[in-house]
Amino acid sequence: MAGVTIKLFLPKGDAQSLRTAELVNWTGKALAGPRSQLDDLLAREELVKSGVYILLGVDPDTGKQAAYIGEAEVVRDRLKQHRDKELWVHAITFVSKDENLTKSHIRYLEGRLIEEAVNIARFKVMNGQSSGSKLPESDREGMESFLGRIVQLLPVLGCDLLTPILDAVAAGARLRLTGRIKGATAQGQRTSKGFVVFTGSEAVTGPRPSAQNYVSNILKMRDEFKRDGVLVAEGDRLRFTRDTEFSSPSMAAAVISGGHANGLTFWRDKDGRELKEIESTT
């Protein structure tokens, strides 16, 4: 991927406060801010234009990250309508600096944002359905390019909604590791956010007896994975149905093992070297 130059501006001098982001030679602009500063965000003249927006919060039923994705011909007016929605605590908007985003364009972007967010599954997407819009080929290509810029800017604005669990390029470049316990075999690799266990990896069916005493968070995570279909029963094991990200190699190993595990010794390369040894020599 080619390098890009991002212009990030903090009107209040605080990275957790209102901020804007632009890319060199891009006709769009991003504006983001916490709900507590909604009035400051609404006062921005850029929001009288058409665009898409993302409201971020936590699903009260599951405690998981949640997002609502929308579009509007006047973003400011639509955000005002969301004042009475308790879910969200942060808003990110994307508008065009010219007048070239039509209603069809922003409906297409909204649909694609929802589609990508659902597929990546880092957040629970609260939209009931995706509107979307059909565009001529040339317009569609232009909006896909606009979407690509949104994908680049979201992490800079502190949101990983559209960050793939496992980047295809990184997957080929990083070391593939294997962990085994009680007949279950899992594979994964280090990532910039921790550790990813690959689709098809196996986990033990039940937790170890000692797990009940001091790793309730691991058991809770396993239960959530089974409830959400991330872990499904296959014979005498559980199987991961999609690439799954963990905060550390040890967290991944613990979920696979059904109890406490040291990820630095659990994960090994094809030559049998433990992760601890591999990282001590790199």
pLDDT at 245: 92
**pLDDT of the residue at 244:** 93
Q: What tokens appear for 277 in the block?
A: 């040894």
Measured in residues, the chain has a length of 282
54: which strand partners?
A: 69, 92
| Ranges of H-type helices in 17-101 | 38-42, 75-81
Q: How far apart are CA 82 and CA 37, in angstroms?
A: 14
Phi, psi of 226 (to 5 degrees): -70, -40
Residue type, 28: G
CA atoms within 13 A on the CB side of 62: 15
The pLDDT value recorded for residue 226 is: 93
Provide the residue type at 271 as one letter: D
E runs forming strands in the chain: 6-9, 19-23, 28-34, 51-58, 65-72, 88-96, 124-125, 177-181, 184-191, 194-197, 202-204, 231-234, 237-240, 244-246
List helix spans (H) across 19-92.
38-42, 75-81
The per-residue pLDDT for 131 is 67
- Residue 164 φ then ψ, to 5°: -60, 145
CA angle, corner 157, sides to 151 and 160, nearest 5? Answer: 55
Write out the chain's pLDDT in tens, 282 residues. Answer: 578 899 999 999 998 899 999 998 899 999 999 999 999 999 999 999 999 999 999 988 878 899 999 999 999 999 999 998 888 999 999 999 888 899 999 999 999 999 999 989 899 999 876 667 889 999 999 999 999 999 999 999 999 999 988 764 455 556 899 999 999 999 999 988 889 999 999 999 987 766 555 567 888 889 999 998 999 999 999 999 999 999 999 999 999 999 889 999 999 999 999 999 998 876
Beta partners for residue 202, in sequence order: 239
Q: Give the model's pLDDT for residue 67.
A: 96
Least Cα distance to 216 among 186, 271, 165, 259 occurs for 259
Q: Which of 261, 259, 262, 263 is nearest to 212 (CA)?
A: 259
Q: Which residues, at least 6 apart from 14, have a Cβ–Cβ distance to it below 8 Å? A: none
Helices 249-257, 216-228: axis angle to 10 degrees equals 70
Does the pTM surpass 0.75? The reply is yes
Q: Where are the domains of the chain?
A: 6-156, 168-280
Quick one: CA dihedral 211, 213, 215, 219, positive or negative? positive
What local confidence, expressed as pLDDT, does residue 210 receive?
A: 60
User: pLDDT value at position 6?
Assistant: 93
Q: What phi and psi, each to the nearest 5 degrees, are found at residue 263?
A: -65, -25
